[in-house]
Structure 1
Amino acid sequence: MTLFVTDEEMALLLYDIQDLYGYDFNAYAKASLKRRINRLFALDRFPSFAEFRFRLRTDTAYFGRFIEQITVNVTEMFRDPAFYLALRKEVLPLLATYPFIRVWHAGCSTGEEVYSMAILLREANLLHKSILYATDINPQVVQQAASGVFSMQHMKQYSENYILSGGRHDFSSYYTAGNNKVLFDVSFKKHMVFSTHNLAAESSFNEFQLIVCRNVLIYFEKELQARVFDLFDTSLERLGFLALGSKESLRLSPANAKFRQVSEQKIWRKVI
């Protein structure tokens, strides 16, 4: 007989996780979260919910696996090339007027979009005066992102994305390859700071000119989305930019009044 974690059992798990580890998943979209918890429950073949719960409560290493499995880490370099083309044409020329540029990749996953941004900034001759803060709730993916190492098998697709985004150089010039892996130019790391950060619970930690948070908010309930938009509002300086995913919008958020959409590629500018 196939066992599933019920809504009541999931509520117990979420309480345990918040109580023991300080991670609050209560405002995440319940249907999506439940699917991922049940997938892990089945994948690791627990004979009962009680044993699953006990393992999570007593084994910190297994909790790391839990975080890795239930957080969504779907990303690629120059994902949605039209978005990056809009950044090149509509945002970077304005950021160029700043003496220093701080960019926050909130929910950076394994880092592909952070390195994409570094390439854009270098090609616009702005990287030398920029720092990219890359954060995620999942410590494992933050560590992977910080390594700058990615699978060789994706590079053909990433190169095509790069060209469609307006890139004019040889994409392979940005990395060295070996053993089916690639290592991106280590000089990029001088302009990057990687750290864990929980959008659901933690506060602002700097003032930014650009915040990129794409395809993260779709996994949050409306109340948490509103809280995160308030966090971004607090974290952006006036006239700073906020970039969201293709299915995300500020329009129904109370923070919308402070922003003006400046691109159909889901880019807003803080005007108040």
Structure 2
Amino acid sequence: MDQSPVSPELDNIEVELFVQALQRRHGYDFSQYAPASLKRRVRQLSDQLECKTISGLIERVMHEPQLLPRLLEGLTVPASDMFRDPVMFRALREQVLPVLASYPQINIWQAGCAHGQEVYSLAILLEEAGLYERTQIFATDLSERALQQAQEGIYPAREAQQWSRNYQASGGTRSLADYYSARYNLLKLDQRLRRNVTFARHNLVSDGVFCEAHLILCRNVLIYFSNLLQDHVLSQFRDSLVRGGFLCLGLRESLDYASSSADFSPFAGPLRIYRLASRSERKLA
């Protein structure tokens, strides 16, 4: 017999129970993720893992701990490109890095680094600006599987042409091919780009301030969070930045409704690059 369609109310209950099971069994809290996006991802996971219902997926969450990496991968959907949104990377190259050059040591936090493409893009920018030797990049993500691929720096060669176009549009001064080797339909980024990168697992929902940073990039992550969770994460970024430090968000994200918005000033507003005001500037605001 065919199963009756699941009612929206029952669907919502199952998703809520899934979130509770994941938190109580494994300690990962997705309760503040945007409901529509979370529900869509849970359904997709249920289908991919051949569970007839979300309740069936809950049973596997409880009894198959080895499934956790797959669950986190599906819920967080790590995705990126080299020099994604080239105009933003050009602004980093031409406007932000010259300011950071005044610091003897530069700390950059790439939060939600996914598979690492933007981390390596940053490393190339810094290399070409002559700043990489005094920079430490902290690249964090919730997913261990995503971090493992990021550390390997191996990607499908079919991406190379688009990435090269992005690199040139970002103001690249060389050929992107100078930074990777290609073989067997794969390209491997030069491991020298990793020499000042620390990859680490970090949960923006539950973990605290990660480092004292001069620049934080968290692009296209907040769009999946509820307003309350966005506010929490943005306050965490504010507390992580040095005075005058920079915050870079995705082009569909902003500080407009965050409680910490008064602590920042637009630096390249349409590109979602902000600068943390000094304490005296905040008092005057």
Shift of 1:188: 1.4
Query: Is residue 78 of structure 2 the alignment partner of residue 73 of structure 1?
Result: yes
> Which amino acid is 2:168 matched to?
I
What is the match of residue 271 of structure 1?
277
- Give the structure 2 partner of residue 254 of structure 1: 259
Instruction: Select 2:250's aligned residue among 220, 245, 252.
Output: 245
Higher relative contact order (CA 8 A, sep 6+): 1
TM-score of the superposition, structure 2-length normalised? Answer: 0.93
In structure 2, the residue matched to 1:39 is 44
Counterpart amino acid of residue 159 in structure 1: S
Which runs of 5 or more structure 2 residues have no equivalent in the other structure? 279-285
Shift, 1:65, TM fit: 1.0
CA distances 1:47-76 after superposition (whole Å, capped 9, x unpaired): 344332111111111122111112122210
Match of 2:282 in 1: none
Cα distance in 2 between the residues matched to 1:31 and 1:245 = 20
| Partner in structure 2 of residue 15 of structure 1 | 20
- The CA deviation at 1:146 is 0.8
**Aligned residue number for residue 183 of structure 2:** 178
Once the two structures are overlaid, the 10-residue window that deviates more, 34-43 or 238-247, is 34-43
Q: Which amino acid aligns with 2:237?
A: F
Q: Are residue 159 (structure 1) and residue 164 (structure 2) matched?
A: yes
The 3-state SS of whatever aligns with 1:6 is helix
Q: What is the DSSP-based 3-state SS (H/G/I as helix, E as strand, rest coil) of the residue aligned with 1:262? A: strand
TM-score normalised to the size of structure 1?
A: 0.97
Question: What residue number does 2:211 align with?
Answer: 206
Give the equivalent residue in structure 2 for 1:197.
202
Separation in 2 of the partners of 1:134 and 1:66? 21
Comparing 21-30 with 3-12, which one deviates more in the overlay? 3-12
SS at the partner of 2:271? coil
Q: How much is the aligned-residue C-alpha RMSD, in angstroms?
A: 1.2
| Corresponding residue pairs, total | 272
Bigger mean CA deviation after superposition, 47-56 or 147-156: 47-56
Segments ≥4 residues shifted beyond 6 Å? none
Aligned equivalent of 1:111: 116
Q: 1:215 aligned to 2:220?
A: yes
SS in 2 for 1:254: coil
Choose which of 62, 68, 77 in structure 2 pairs with 1:63: 68
> How many Å apart are 1:166 and its aligned residue?
0.3
Question: Is residue 123 of structure 1 aligned with residue 128 of structure 2?
Answer: yes
Give the distance between the partners of 2:151 and 2:213, measured in 1 at CA: 20
Paired position in structure 1 for 2:281: none
Match of 2:237 among 232, 236, 239: 232
Alpha-carbon distance between aligned partners in 2 of 1:169 and 1:93, rounded to the nearest angstrom: 19
Q: 1:243 to 1:45 in 2, by over 3 A?
A: same
Tell me how far apart the structure 1 counterparts of residues 214 and 274 of structure 2 sit (CA, whole Å). Answer: 12
Q: Which amino acid aligns with 1:227?
A: H
Could you say which residue in structure 1 is the equivalent of 2:94? 89
Greater shift, 72-81 or 121-130, is seen at: 72-81
Measured after TM superposition, the shift of residue 43 of structure 1 is 2.2
- Residue deviations 1:5-46 (CA, integer Å, cap 9, x gap): 711111111111111111110000010010011011122221
Consecutive unaligned residues in structure 1, runs of 5 or more: none
